[in-house]
Structure 1
């Protein structure tokens, strides 16, 4: 009896232990299933984010332009002679009236003195002839002087008056040529390369260019825009002056800011473009005549536009889309309407609200509902995002 009771007790213990083991195993499986059901499937994707911002964004029309000097003068000699003095250095800034070249003035001074002497001689002769004419006029009535002699003397007086007038013209011409021998700057500007040296003989008839002066403060930029922008251009120009931004040829940095001063009166039918001219103060001389520049004509400003960096937007078969990070650190795919893209920014019409977190890097590994981990942007990504902003 005692042996049977021991065996029964042992069997009971084994059954209890076995049941407990299976109960623990089942509980662990249930907990694993619950944990798996509570968290989304798939690995955690590392990303960087940006924040959708609301800002005022200018509306630009782009074009290519050429810098043109405000004024350009080719300095030439108006008289013949030898250059005896040069009063400037190449590349020097000059003011209107500053001396540039001196042509030997001695021949012109001699001609001036000769014309002045001829006038003095004719004036003396006129004075004597006039006295004779006055005497003849008193004697003609008494018969001591003939009418013919009187008329001849009157003709002599008139001829001498004409000679004096011609002498004065010779004096004026000589004075003008003497002034032309002193060549001065006609405008404010900067001198270029000098084409003649000291001692050279110049002739007015040859039209030799001595030096070119260009005015670069202010300065012009001639550029063209597509003809489709003409309507908005005219509409906005009636409201306010239009701002023009000049950028370097590689479009990497801004050179200057100016205003439209001329809209051409017709569209070029060969190219379908409209020519414009903008004026820039150019106080820092960042624009140089003959330089090619990229031009951005600002037509208007989009107020409170939603913007994100352009590389946060992806394009699929159905249009543009992006991923937004939700508060539970999961990604949500959003279809977006892109109004415009410029300067590294995408301007969003629909799809985002200001302040939402948008995936900037890592979006190519995402699917809708994927788990994400927000990392700090790398140095390259941060600088690119700063440029876009």
Structure 2
């Protein structure tokens, strides 16, 4: 007779069910948990670009006006007219200010009248001398009278010359009442108003005129840089006297690159003994007034063209305490770190002076996921293009 359980089921069935569950639990505990590593991170790689790169001497300097002078009142009088608007572009010879002219016109008229009087007196003395000279030849008058007439004539001639000089001085002073632009340029704000008395205790500054087309950029080079430029010119059969044909480029603080092209037009003949530098000047076209005088400028001068230069994306270069480096793809797709010596920037490409070969696969994308010593999954990419650099395509894979 089978003994029933509490719920009316056989007690043996429960025992078998519990035993089966325990066996399954023990079997699951005996299985080992195996670690499945994540797939290697994906990165973009490319071989460096090789080509001809122009090497530059990079400096800093400042822009200066081609011409810049103060407009001053050189004669005393009241300012009667201002004939321009502040900041206006003017042409050479334009009248900018007018000082009262009546006083100086009257002085000129007075001087001209005195000249006419002197000329009349000279003419009279000339007639008297001619008469006395004739009488002396006829032995009617004494030689002493003829000599006295000659002395009076000489004095009259001198008085006429002085009167003529006074006329010229009066004309010059009258001309000073019109202050004209000495060259094409832009005039600053006026410093004196109409009705002001100017020139009463010396020259009075009225405004300033500046010519910035073309415009200069001044910068300094040290002795070592001077010798480097000299050597590069010598390789081309030229000397420092031939600087007017040497190109120079500048870029302002807010600009990318060096958009303004010009040429050198002056090198100081001697070094400054206090600073050990040589002053150099470049001249630049500035028709649109894009460059103002007095601005900081980055300057570069091309020295030579380097053939087969190795260039990589500037963003592929990182820096550590040990210096600059790039990440490259090594054997079995393992990331390697290579220390490099970066050169100048050519557009988006950086010239690599040393530490990299043309066959290296440089990681140019996903650098944050690439760790030296770890494997990666590379994808072929392309370096940035640079229209300013004549590039040669990297050799094909073999």
Answer whether TM exceeds 0.5 for this pair.
Answer: yes
Which sections of structure 2, spanning at least 5 residues, go unmatched? 1-36, 239-244, 390-398
Distance in 1, matches of 2:272 and 2:122, equals 68
- How far 1:289 moved relative to its partner? 0.8
Q: CA, structure 1 residues 81+44, in 2 after alignment: closer, same or farther (shift >3 Å)? A: same
Partner in structure 2 of residue 308 of structure 1 = 312
Q: CA, structure 1 residues 98+366, in 2 after alignment: closer, same or farther (shift >3 Å)? A: same
Contact 2:46 2:380 in 1 (8 A): no
> 2:276 aligned with 1:276, yes or no?
no
Contact 2:43 2:376 in 1 (8 A): no
Partner in structure 2 of residue 244 of structure 1 = 248
Distance in 2, matches of 1:59 and 1:322, equals 22
The residue correspondences of 1:50-199 to structure 2 (distance < 5 A) are 50-140=46-136, 145-199=141-195
Contact 1:334 1:351 in 2 (8 A): no
Q: CA, structure 1 residues 281+173, in 2 after alignment: closer, same or farther (shift >3 Å)? A: same
Q: CA, structure 1 residues 50+275, in 2 after alignment: closer, same or farther (shift >3 Å)? A: farther
> 2:343 aligned with 1:340, yes or no?
yes
Partner in structure 2 of residue 296 of structure 1 = 300
Q: CA, structure 1 residues 130+346, in 2 after alignment: closer, same or farther (shift >3 Å)? A: closer
Tell me which of 267, 278, 285 is aligned to 1:263.
267
Distance in 2, matches of 1:248 and 1:191, equals 24
SS of 1:44's partner is coil
- How far 1:79 moved relative to its partner? 2.0
- How far 1:78 moved relative to its partner? 2.6
Alignment TM-score, normalising by the size of structure 1: 0.75
Tell me which of 201, 214, 218 is aligned to 1:218.
214
Alignment TM-score, normalising by the size of structure 2: 0.73
Distance in 1, matches of 2:192 and 2:164, equals 34
Contact 1:100 1:183 in 2 (8 A): yes
Q: CA, structure 1 residues 175+372, in 2 after alignment: closer, same or farther (shift >3 Å)? A: same
Name the stretch that deviates more: 97-106 or 271-280.
271-280
Partner in structure 2 of residue 34 of structure 1 = none
Distance in 2, matches of 1:141 and 1:265, equals 69
Partner in structure 2 of residue 352 of structure 1 = 357
